[in-house]
Structure 1
């Protein structure tokens, strides 16, 4: 019997404060949280689909009671816990090495303290990645990174985001908005998993968040929800087309989800700017169930860490390519 092709699913457990921080809302400093609502709902959906996946968590949440509880529940349900930085700043690629080391260490320590194994996978907030970050991850013994999104729409997403955001005061919290989501050069990035080649050799696997083969448009949860708002039929057709192209092009889909994929607007106050927040939570949960069932029809679905464990990417890419920009 021929083994079915692999796919992976992961969740970036971005919290309410993180969205509002990136958007420039000064009230983010109160650290409002929707994890108590989002995490049980996400785990229920994954449980119904009999899926074990990867959840990338933010250190600033994990050092708090609700974040530590979330990590404990996620681990108890059998899911992998990955590192999503400590402060969730999408301009992480600007950090010097010492600060990168601190971001990773503090989050690693918090995750272990909450009862999960030491993380082997990382994803940068806002798909932020740099040469220094890759080399720091490799030096710390990480097995993989999952921070690339090979698409051309980054500048358009950035323009939409910044148009709806209040002006920032020029401080550290907002001075990276001009680089959010990367540039047009992302369209040239590989869609298949590969290994980074550094001065010390190869080893760290890069697992891109999948975009639709050939056209390089996103297929992650938030994007699908935006299409679903316009037309459920359009969203279903779009995702089915993406899966057919992945099969035809031998691309292993890596599907990215967020808490907002299961939350309604009342559960995420201040996020009216974010796509899909006008859709009731029950409709979102039903849609996510359909997406995961469609994925499982064609693929053996695992977490990102399990995918990397089961595969051995032969492709390589020089880390110096990150010197020329994101």
Structure 2
């Protein structure tokens, strides 16, 4: 395939209210509160109005419940790929045993298929967590790509902020000791590549050279301070990606289109004070900006074309 513009992609991690509360250390997560009935149609409309085909990474525990299964069907019916986002969404998968990791993959895979979507071939670990064992298990199960790596140095800062703001027990702090990874993550490739396991890897893009985040939640945190700064920041990221020949992978979450009225329990989450209508309009601007500079595909198509030997973005950063 020959494109006038380099390839890029937009994906959604369908993280639910309970998964955010769980990571935050809030015991109310156990009741599994959900905003999927509100978030799903909004995301479907957003993608449709933006003319985007996306990949939606779904949590298995949600796909096993009615509103989650309905979400899977709605996204699949709209032509979006469904990816595997683990079963319990614990961002410390690298601490799991092999049997635990296998269960996380397999239970989610089965739940997505049971909900009516094609069998997933892509995986993204919660909180960008991954390991060599996880990659091997994915390869053994016929998965073709992983989208878990996050090449940035801010992991320790994000973890320190998390520990300051979350109400965690000593055991939970130990469990989260490697949350968001170390500063050495900044040395990971920015471009699609094949890992040692042979699995195709599509990193979540960070700003070239600076290796700082540009995903939706980070942009909205900037937007809450200054919309002008957020637009300048993203415009700079797009220009650097073009100059450095990095195809952009934009990661979004439902919270990027929702506000505190949609999810009062997530008032602690960055950007939730921004009205949903403003978020919607800003994220439409973000994706439209991407579409002016890239051919925006789904995650699976992005990595297929980026790893084509004729693609100018095929080599490892």
Structure 1 length normalisation: TM-score?
Answer: 0.92
Work out the CA distance in 2 between the residues paired with 1:126 and 1:283. 26
Task: Give the whole-Å Cα distance in 1 for the aligned partners of 2:256 and 2:211.
Answer: 22
Alpha-carbon shift at residue 169 of structure 1 (Å): 5.9
Secondary structure, aligned partner of 1:170? helix
Counterparts of 1:13 and 1:2, CA distance in 2: 30
Candidates 209, 217, 225, aligned match of 2:220: 225
Counting only pairs closer than 5 Å after superposition, residues 120-269 of structure 1 correspond to structure 2 as: 120-168=121-169, 170=171, 175-198=174-197, 202=198, 204-269=199-264
Q: Deviation at 1:291?
A: 0.5
What's the CA shift string for 1:277-306, capped at 9, x where partnerless?
111111111111111111101111011111
Contact 2:155 2:182 in 1 (8 A): yes
1:89-148 Cα offsets, whole Å, 9 max, x none, are: 001111111111111110000000011011010000000011101111111111100000
Partners in 2 of 1:2 and 1:207 — Cα distance?
Answer: 19
Give yes or no for the alignment of 1:286 onto 2:285: no
CA distance in 2 between counterparts of 1:47 and 1:106 reads: 30
The gaps in structure 2 that reach 5 residues or longer are 309-313
State the alpha-carbon separation in 1 of the partners of residues 230 and 271 from structure 2: 13
CA contact (8 A) 2:87 2:108 kept: yes
The answer to whether 1:51 aligns with 2:43 is: no
Provide, for residues 61-93 of structure 1, a one-character-per-residue CA deviation record: whole Å limited to 9, x for no partner.
Answer: 000000000000000000000000000000111
CA distance in 2, matches of 1:131, 1:316: 19
CA offset at residue 168 of structure 1? Answer: 2.2
**1:183, 1:233 → 2: CA distance?**
31
Unpaired runs of 5+ residues, structure 1, are 318-326
Distance 1:316 1:6, change over 3 A: closer
Could you give the per-residue CA deviations for residues 46-67 of structure 1, whole angstroms, max 9, x where no partner exists? 1001100000000000000000
Deviation of 1:193 after TM superposition, in Å, equals: 0.7
| Cα distance in structure 2, aligned partners of 1:286 and 1:51 | 15
How many corresponding residue pairs?
311
C-alpha distance in 2, partners of 1:272/1:105?
33
